[in-house]
Every structure is written in C-alpha cells, then in structure tokens.
Amino acid sequence: MEGTVFNIFAGLAVLSALLVVANPFSRNPVTSALFLVTTMISISGLFVLLGAYFLAAVQILVYAGAVMVLFLFVIMLLDLREGARRKLNLVSFAMGFMAVGSLFLVYKSSVDQTYGDTTQHQEVAAGVNQVEGSTRALGQSLFSAEKGFILPFEIVSVLLLVAMVGVILLSRKEPL
C-alpha cells in the first residue's frame, strides 16, 4: 500500500518536473509554472509518507501557495509571447533532462533503500535511523538552546533579512 502511494507521488513528481522544463505540447510559461505546482504537491505527498507532516504542510503553504503564485504573477505581468513562440533549445533541454534525471535517481535509490533487500532497509525497518517528524520535535530541534540548531537558524534568517533589504534598496528609484 505505502509502496504504491510512494510510486504514484514519486512518478507524478518526476513526470511533472520533466514537463516543467521540456513540455513537448506547450511552450507556455504558465503551463510550466503549473506543472511546477504539481511537482511541489507531489513532493509534499512524499513528506507525508515519511511522517514529516509539518514539512508537508509547509511545502504546500510556502511553495505551492505563495512562491508559485508570485511566479505566476510575474509571468503574467511580463509579456512573454516571444518565449511562447521560441523553439525548443537543445542546451536547456539537456540541462533540464539532467535535473529531472538526478531527481529520478534520488527517488530510485530511496526506493531501493526502503524496499530493497539491503542492510539500510533492515535498519529502517528496525527503526534505527527513525527521525521524529512532528511539529513539536521539529521545533525543539530547531530552537532549543543546548542541542538545537538555533545558531544556524538565526544566521539563515539574518541572511534572508539582508537579501530583503537589498531588494528594497535596489528597487528604489531615487538613491538614499
């Protein structure tokens, strides 16, 4: 049962990721963006299968619900008719194929590890490397002062703040 669901989500993720970069039927950027949404949702399904419910919800909330909506916003505001008529570019096709191929390899190796007859499979089955995926566990491992990741977390948030201030500075018409 779980294997079937994994295959459905993993297959959907790989297939729609392929259609984002190399869609033979449409060169419309909006179509690509919507297939990227499908990829995000499938990946969130994979998080659910791993028991990481918080990550699954945040994946949909942040990527499918906010980031991709802004992508669509920008695509629609720019006049991309030239892009729609452009022929398939071999280099970008190859790069996209490589990206999707590596995603596929990640899935394949995780299938082998989880369901194949290997030592990792036995370890997973025995719960050796089990990671707690609940919101509480995630919050504690991020924010607790002794053994948590509070310092990297704060550094990343400062980095985001710098990027945000930078964008505001760059998009100002008159200099400060």
Partner 1 sequence: MLATITGLFAEPWVMTLLKVAGVFAVVMPMVAYAVVAERRISAWIQDRIGPNRVGIPFTNIKLLGLGQPLADGLKALVKEDFTPAHVRKVYYWMAPAVAMVPSFVVLAVLPFGSMLGEQKMVIADLDIGILFTFGIVSLGVYGIVLAGYASNSKYPFLGGIRSTAQMISYEIAMGLAVVPVFMIAADPAWQKGLSESWSLYLDGAGLLNLSSVIAYQSDSLFGWLMFKQPVAFVIFLIAIFAETNRLPFDMPESETELVAGYNTEYSSMRFALFFMGEYAAMIAGSALMVVLFCGGWMLPLGDYFSTPAESFGQGLVHIGVFVAKIAVFLGLMIWIRWMLPRFRYDQLMNIGWKRFLPVSLANIIVTAIVLWVLNS
- Chain residues binding partner 1 by CB under 8 A are 30, 37, 53-54, 56-58, 60-61, 64-66, 69-70, 72-73, 76-77, 134-136
Closest contact distance (angstroms) between CB of 133 and partner 1 is: 10
Q: How far is the CB of 176 from partner 1 (least distance, A)?
A: 21
Residue nearer to partner 1 on the CB measure, 69 or 94:
69
Minimum CB distance to partner 1, residue 95 (Å): 27
Task: Please name which of 47, 44, 33, 141 lies closest in space to residue 83, comparing C-alpha atoms.
Answer: 33
Q: Are 3 and 115 within 8 A, CB to CB?
A: yes
CB closer to partner 1, 65 vs 116: 65
Both structure tokens of 67:
């980031």
Contacts 24+ apart (CB under 8 A), 78-87: 80/29, 83/27, 83/29, 84/27, 84/28, 84/29, 85/27, 86/27
Q: How far apart are CA 6 and CA 46, in angstroms?
A: 7
Task: Give whichever of 70 and 128 is closer to partner 1, judged by the CB atom.
Answer: 70
Residue with smaller CB distance to partner 1, 72 or 99: 72
